[in-house]
């Protein structure tokens, strides 16, 4: 490994790529070596993101595995689902470590992928090899992985909140409701009527009730925690008129009465020594974790339910920050490098 880890960011014109570039600016042992996009002609990065003028004036380049392998040890793929899996085999073959921000390698079952992404998975070999990049659950596997599937933003918040209780067998795995809310950056950078400022401001709504693709991702992850391997998760996301942040409020059904102290202890044990999980006695809020890689968690017990509240920055712990955390692990760096 060289002195400075060289990172290629592929699909450089979206918010996740911008956040990755910003975070890598602060990284002591890694740097942005290359930006790639699917645009033609290729843009100057700082023409896309005017805030980066003078801070990152790289020109984007075409997406070419061989070219990437010459300039970088790690590729972060910020491409839509379906496109990423076309590129991954060549990158891995060229010896590049890959962190894929899309959903292409998150669902182990090709049938799940087919059902929810409505296309056939075309890289089953690496689907099998890929590690789900949630370090709090798969740290050791990530350390040796060549291909990491960076988790979705909602699943990061929801799984970190619910997994300890499912795993401890404290709650009914068939009765899990994840109510979530996200800032608008989660909807991407493409302008849309419903995210036009005058329509989005002073507005709050639910969307894709029980139909959002992150539902299956959350469920499969929690399946992996459940003693009998199968959970049932209802996921309902909402949109908040703010730029960034996700808060999940998860409703779990204790199998037997549980005290809030015991519930809090379950969280504390699960996340002892975790550098980016912060247990709170008060209520987590998105502002407290904005622009950090932290996940703030708390738990309450009321009316026969156990309620877990989880807050992350969807662009950091929910995307680029977690990708860097994964990169640090994959490359033998301090896991927190550039993130504290």
Which of the residues are catalytic?
A: 153
Distance CA 185, CA 242 (A): 8
Residues in the chain, how many? 340
Binding mask 116-155 toward a copy of itself (x if CB under 8 A, else -) reads: ----------------------------------------
Q: Judged by CB under 8 A, which of 102, 286, 322, 326 binds a copy of itself?
A: 286
What are the φ and ψ backbone dihedral angles of 169, each rounded to 5 degrees? 70, 20
- Which letter, b or e, does each residue of 137-158 get, where b requires 16 or more Cβ atoms within 10 Å of its Cβ? bbbeebbebbbbbbbbbbbbbb
Short-list 14, 22, 79, CA closest to 56: 22
- Which letter, b or e, does each residue of 200-221 get, where b requires 16 or more Cβ atoms within 10 Å of its Cβ? beeeeeeeeeeebbbbbbbbbb
Which of the ranges 86-94, 100-108, 288-296, 319-327 carries the binding residues for a copy of itself, by CB under 8 A?
288-296
Nearer to a copy of itself, 25 or 31 (CB): 25
CA distances from 95 to 19, 49, 71, 92, 106 (A): 25, 30, 12, 5, 21
Report how many residues bind a copy of itself under the rule CB under 8 A: 71
Nearer to a copy of itself, 55 or 119 (CB): 55
Short-list 6, 24, 114, 19, CA closest to 70: 6
Q: Quote the tokens at residue 329.
A: 């692990």
Distance CA 217, CA 212 (A): 10
Q: Is 198 in the site for a copy of itself (CB under 8 A)?
A: yes
Binding mask 217-256 toward a copy of itself (x if CB under 8 A, else -) reads: ---------------xxx-x-x-xxxxxx-x-x-x-----
Cβ proximity of 29 and 330 under 8 Å: no
| DSSP-derived secondary structure letter, 316 | I
Nearer to a copy of itself, 55 or 122 (CB): 55
Q: Is 29 in the site for a copy of itself (CB under 8 A)?
A: no
In this structure, the number of other CB atoms found within 10 A of the CB of residue 261 comes to 10
Closest distance of CB 93 from a copy of itself, Å: 36
Closest distance of CB 64 from a copy of itself, Å: 27
Cβ proximity of 251 and 307 under 8 Å: yes
Nearer to a copy of itself, 96 or 233 (CB): 233
Closest distance of CB 295 from a copy of itself, Å: 12
Q: Which of residues 33-52 bind a copy of itself (CB under 8 A)?
A: 50-51
Closest distance of CB 120 from a copy of itself, Å: 25
Q: Is 261 in the site for a copy of itself (CB under 8 A)?
A: no
Q: Which of residues 52-71 bind a copy of itself (CB under 8 A)?
A: 53-54
Nearer to a copy of itself, 26 or 265 (CB): 26
Nearer to a copy of itself, 54 or 229 (CB): 54
Closest distance of CB 172 from a copy of itself, Å: 11
Q: Judged by CB under 8 A, which of 152, 155, 161, 284 binds a copy of itself?
A: 284
Q: Is 181 in the site for a copy of itself (CB under 8 A)?
A: yes
Distance CA 51, CA 19 (A): 12
């Amino acid at each position: 490994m060289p002195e400075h880890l060289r990172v290629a960011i592929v699909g450089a014109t979206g918010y996740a790529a911008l956040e990755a570039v910003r975070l890598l600016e602060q990284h002591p042992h890694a740097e942005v070596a290359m930006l790639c996009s699917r645009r033609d002609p290729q843009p100057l990065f700082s023409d896309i993101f005017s805030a980066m003028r003078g801070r990152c004036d790289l020109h984007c380049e075409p997406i070419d595995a061989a070219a990437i392998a010459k300039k970088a040890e790690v590729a972060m793929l910020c491409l839509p689902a379906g496109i990423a899996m076309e590129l991954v085999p060549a990158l891995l073959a060229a010896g590049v470590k890959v962190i894929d921000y899309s959903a292409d390698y998150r669902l182990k079952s090709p049938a799940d992928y087919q059902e929810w992404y409505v296309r056939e998975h075309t890289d089953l070999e690496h689907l099998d090899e890929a590690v789900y990049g949630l370090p709090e659950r798969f740290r050791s596997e990530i350390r040796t992985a060549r291909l990491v599937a960076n988790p979705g933003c909602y699943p990061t918040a929801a799984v970190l909140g619910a997994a300890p209780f499912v795993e401890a067998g404290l709650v009914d795995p068939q009765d899990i409701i994840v109510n979530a809310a996200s800032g608008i950056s989660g909807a991407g950078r493409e302008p849309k009527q419903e995210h036009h400022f005058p329509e989005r401001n002073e507005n709050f709504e639910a969307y894709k009730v029980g139909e959002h693709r992150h539902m299956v991702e959350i469920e499969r992850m929690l399946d992996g925690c459940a003693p009998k391997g199968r959970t049932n998760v209802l996921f309902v996301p909402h949109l908040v008129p703010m730029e960034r942040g996700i808060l999940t409020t998860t409703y779990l059904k204790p199998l037997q009465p549980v005290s809030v102290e015991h519930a809090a202890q379950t969280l504390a044990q699960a996340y002892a020594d975790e550098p980016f999980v912060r247990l709170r006695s008060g209520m987590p809020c998105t502002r407290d974790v904005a622009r950090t890689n932290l996940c703030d968690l708390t738990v309450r017990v009321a009316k026969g339910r156990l309620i877990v509240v989880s807050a992350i920055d969807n662009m950091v712990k929910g995307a680029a920050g977690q990708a860097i955390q994964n990169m640090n692990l994959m490359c033998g760096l301090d896991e927190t490098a550039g993130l504290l």
